[in-house]
């Protein structure tokens, strides 16, 4: 698995169109529905846990629209 920092809407010249940095994570070997434990051929519990931890951390970060009670 790898993570890299990129920019949303990156232009041809390598400049971010919107200027918003993002992180892209690849989960090699994981299926498209790797977060669904009811699909044994797709399920990847380790990758799913990492995805949820990163998603929840993002929601808790300053400036996130999702920050609020219970998050």
Query: Tokens 């993570």 identify what position?
Result: 3
User: Can you tell me the mean pLDDT for 45-70?
Assistant: 78
55 or 21, which is more confident: 55
Whole-structure pTM over 0.75, yes or no?
A: no
Of the pLDDT bands very low, low, confident and very high (cuts 50, 70, 90), residue 15 is: very low
Helix then strand then coil, % of the chain, to nearest 5: 25, 20, 60
- The pLDDT of residue 5 is above 60: no
DSSP 38: T
**Run of H or E residues at 5:** strand 2-7
């Amino acid at each position: 698995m790898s993570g890299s920092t990129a920019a949303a809407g990156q232009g041809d010249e390598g400049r971010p169109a919107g200027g918003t940095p993002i992180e892209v994570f690849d989960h090699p070997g994981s299926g498209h529905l790797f977060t669904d434990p009811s699909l044994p051929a797709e399920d990847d519990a380790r990758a799913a846990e990492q995805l949820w931890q990163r998603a929840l951390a993002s929601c808790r970060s300053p400036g996130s629209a999702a920050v609020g009670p219970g998050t």
